[in-house]
Amino acid sequence: MERIVKYSRQDWCKCECGEREEPLTTFLYDLPNLTACNIFPPLHILNILLLRGWAGGGMSPKFSWKAFEISELEYQEMLPKLLYPNWQILHKKLWRIRLPMKLDSEFDSICDRYTWMTLVSEKHGIK
């Protein structure tokens, strides 16, 4: 069964803000600054963000949640839902339109989130 995440989406006038409870995959699609060019991060990079307990602000809503991390098993179990989501349900829950997430294992050995995002963006960015 997929984890339910309680989180807050706040401080932005262009979306429905407030407290939310959503399945992990919906939460991840909702988060700003999670992917680089729609490439979903490997587990260790994802957990850096999840353990922080906040994301966004500025040009996107600010998100906050109780910090947590996920296991390798949970990561593998959620990937099919994340990579092939039910768009009819998902699009009604997000604050902005998202493109489907993809994987690129070329960068999985990078340990630093900023470096991972930079290198993925260099490879997959619009040229």
Q: What average pLDDT does the chain have?
A: 89
pLDDT in tens, 48-91: 999 999 987 666 678 899 999 999 999 999 999 999 999 888 88
User: Looking at residue 56, what is its pLDDT?
Assistant: 78
User: Looking at residue 14, what is its pLDDT?
Assistant: 58
- Write the DSSP assignment of the chain as a string of letters: -PPEEEEEEES-TTS--EEEEEEHHHHHHH-TT--BTTBPPPHHHHHHHHHH-EEE-SSS-EEEE------HHHHHHHHHHHHS--HHHHTTT-SS--PPPB--GGGTT---HHHHHHHHHHHHS--
User: Looking at residue 90, what is its pLDDT?
Assistant: 87
